Structure 1
Amino acid sequence: MTIPRSPAVPRSPAVLLSARVREVRGSAIRDLLALTARNDVISLAGGLPGTDLLPRDRIGAALATAVADPAAVQYGETSGLRRLRDVLATTEGERLGRRLAPTDVVVTSGSQQALDLVARAMLDPGDPVVVEDPCYVGALQVFQAVGAALHPVPVDADGMDVDTLAARLAAGLRPKLVHTVSSFHNPRGATLAAERRAALAALADRYGFLVVEDDPYGLLAFDGPPPVPVAALGDRVVRLGSASKVLAPALRVGWLTGPTPLLAAVERLKQCTDLCGSTLTQAVAAELLADRPWFDAHLDRLRGALRERAAALTGAVRETFADAVTYSTPTGGMFCWVEFTDGTRPADLLPVALEHGVGFVPGAAFAANSKPGAAHDRAARLCFASNPVPALRTAVGRLSAAWRRSAVSAT
């Protein structure tokens, strides 16, 4: 009898990756999502809007309308669906206080793609780029991928320390780009103060760099109107926007406005990347953003829910940890930045926290230098947007139990 041989297990061939890819740091947040996806874990880690806050019924109705048009399931223009660019030109123009044409807008697959395309259009390996510290992880990955030389500038309660930037510029630093999450910063939660916004725009004019204003959270101000964009204060600003936090991440609709030569370069690069975005989801976004009474009411509900969740999280942190931590007071957006004052290192606390059923992101993941852990090692980012109030209070209780266990183990 002939015994059949077991098929050989295929071996993965050796692949020589580019030096550029080897320089890109993995995202600790993306790695954490797999762990926090467990049913027994309440995640304060990923920057995810609460699923219960997403307008699924309204999106479903808009999808049904969109798919009835044959053009909605066909390839579209690289720069985006004209109807959506019409809407965005109006809404962005209102925020900037000047008239925009649809040709002043390029639609992208989320604002992350917009940032990547801007970096690829503007930067050669070794070009200097100013980033905030702590920094949005997605920006770090984009700039590392193009081989930029990163120059961190601190972020405090009023956003980027523009005085420090000014001093470094006066000393000879000449960046091509300065990246800022200007409103309700990820991860710090801070908003760039009005005087700093004006100073940043003036520095861009004086020294000739381009400001990349990354603004996915600006419409999520808890009280009062959204902050005035940096792009409203100067011409040397490329502004990135997103529907992910105000409508739904799965739409994958982002956009950028900025200098015309840059938009043309971005469009050419986008042709290399994906030819065009999803015409179907862009049609949905266009309908929802154009329905101003509905969208304004939706934003009001969203802001109210986020305000309540932020208050619940920070209240629980205050009651539970007392003077063992300091924390930011959110005025919008999705994040609270916590710093331990008792010597606790959140990177060491995280495994214990996961055992107790709660996840968060250690602050070291947002360090702008190339060695994670060298900075912000006493800090953590907590996202309050993803969970309702009772779950947030439970999560802080679990975090407290993990913290107390770690303290006992340390002694």
Structure 2
Amino acid sequence: MTSTDLRPRSAGGAPPIRLAARLSGIRGSAIRDLLTLTARDDVLSLAGGLPAADLMPRERIAEAAERALASPTAVQYSETAGLGRLREVVAAHETGRTGRPVGPADVVVTSGSQQALDLLARALLDPGDPVAVEDPVYVGALQVLQAAGADVHPVPLDGEGMRVDVLAARLAAGFRPRLVHTVSSFHNPRGVTLGQERRRDLAGLAERYGFLVVEDDPYGLLAFDGDPPRPVAAHGDHVVRLGSASKVLAPSLRVGWLVAPPVLAAAVERLKQSTDLCGSSLTQMITAELLADEEWFAGHVVGVRRENRGRAAALTAAVDAEFGPAVTRSTPSGGMFCWLEFADGTDTAALLPRALEQGVGFVPGGAFSVDAPVDGGALRSAARLCFATYPPDLLREAVRRLARASRRPDS
């Protein structure tokens, strides 16, 4: 096994700092890197999955914080698995979503759903264990699985989400994953939603072949019209659900959760003890109050859904007007993302520097490729745009800037 040098040996002969070999298998996040590039005031960034700051309930959060701070427990250590009140609220919320009984012992509160995914992978996977992910893939999931040393197998997507039929054929041929990860509703990055029949089929395959489905669901409540999609977990017991307050309340609360059978939840709790001991009592108390106020929370989510629907319409109309048949795009029905594909084979990684010169950022499709991180493979002519961050006028301006960049010849 080899290790990675953090710096060259100094002139004085001091040995270099060596990093663990496992880091060599983890791809850096293009999105994280882009957030640095697009932080300039002159750049309209469609790159990050950032919910709109103007839609976050800051006054309501401040009121809840004031009430929380009246209790001494708000500034004290908390239980590793999360405050009891928040776990009760999440359990009730998940019971309503799935139609299956969920108890507080099934819930572990985490620092965002990304920590939940990391702890889950550490609890379940040994190096070399096979796992299945969607392709294009949520980059955060890919990084976690690579860090765990998993053998990652991509499963293609279409307009109804993961090709569960492709997964079924591979399972019949002998593929035995430890887990299957899916962003089932309003997929990141493709924006598609797993159809209900496929959800039933996926849950059934998990029962038959003994793997766990990890249902990563930060966007499920953000359907533009109608009820949120019924979770995969509604159809079987071999499903672990990940949730988050980031997209529906505020990312800075850093409150996510994992819902799993008690034996797995207990294992995750033990790992969490070695990671951070516990989360923030203050932000958990705030989140518990807001989620428990069902009438207020429902009205808040309706407002976010309505505003996001208008923003998605503004962005897609601008794409149609500026690009016409040169680009095919998804039609968002919820969530935060629109997926573009350039008909002429435009290399979006090469387009990005020109776009930044014009004052707009996006994520090239190749960043979400499982097997072709260097050239992007089949995704090299695709791009992910986030429509949730800005109001319609700024979204239209961002698309105009992108169109100008795409018309400039490579230099």
TM-score after normalising by structure 1: 0.96
Query: Number of residues paired by the alignment?
Result: 401
Over 3 Å counting, the alpha-carbon distance change for 1:199 and 1:314 in structure 2 is same
The correspondence for 1:232, drawn from 225, 231, 234, is 234
2:137 is equivalent to residue 140 of structure 1: no
Query: How much does 1:12 deviate?
Result: 9.3
Aligned to 2:5: none
Measure the CA separation in 1 of the matches of 2:13 and 2:308.
49
The correspondence for 1:396, drawn from 394, 399, 403, is 399
- Consecutive unaligned residues of structure 1, counting only runs of 5 or more, are 1-7
Measure the CA separation in 2 of the matches of 1:122 and 1:88.
23
Query: How much does 1:157 deviate?
Result: 1.0
Note the 1:171-250 alignment, pairs <5 A: 171-250=173-252
Measure the CA separation in 2 of the matches of 1:259 and 1:90.
15
Measure the CA separation in 1 of the matches of 2:91 and 2:11.
55
Q: Which moved more, 1:98-107 or 1:343-352?
A: 98-107
Query: How much does 1:359 deviate?
Result: 0.1
Measure the CA separation in 2 of the matches of 1:296 and 1:94.
13
Query: Per-residue displacement from partner, 1:122-143 (whole Å, max 9, x unpaired)?
Result: 0000000001100000001000
Query: Per-residue displacement from partner, 1:368-390 (whole Å, max 9, x unpaired)?
Result: 12633233101000000011110
TM-score after normalising by structure 2: 0.96
Note the 1:147-162 alignment, pairs <5 A: 147-162=149-164
SS at match of 1:332: coil
The correspondence for 2:103, drawn from 92, 101, 119, is 101
What is the identity, as a one-letter code, of the residue corresponding to 1:305?
Answer: E
2:113 is equivalent to residue 111 of structure 1: yes
Over 3 Å counting, the alpha-carbon distance change for 1:78 and 1:10 in structure 2 is farther
Measure the CA separation in 1 of the matches of 2:406 and 2:104.
52
Measure the CA separation in 2 of the matches of 1:59 and 1:403.
41
Query: How much does 1:34 deviate?
Result: 0.8
Note the 1:265-344 alignment, pairs <5 A: 265-344=267-346
Aligned to 1:3: none
Query: Per-residue displacement from partner, 1:150-195 (whole Å, max 9, x unpaired)?
Result: 0000011110000110111111100000000000000000000011
The correspondence for 1:46, drawn from 31, 45, 48, is 48
Query: How much does 1:99 deviate?
Result: 2.3
Measure the CA separation in 2 of the matches of 1:339 and 1:259.
40
After TM superposition, what 4+ stretches of structure 1 lie above 2 angstroms from structure 2?
8-13
Measure the CA separation in 1 of the matches of 2:242 and 2:13.
42
Query: How much does 1:305 deviate?
Result: 0.6
Are the counterparts in 1 of residues 366 and 372 from structure 2 also a CA contact under 8 Å? no
Measure the CA separation in 2 of the matches of 1:181 and 1:13.
44
- Consecutive unaligned residues of structure 2, counting only runs of 5 or more, are 1-9
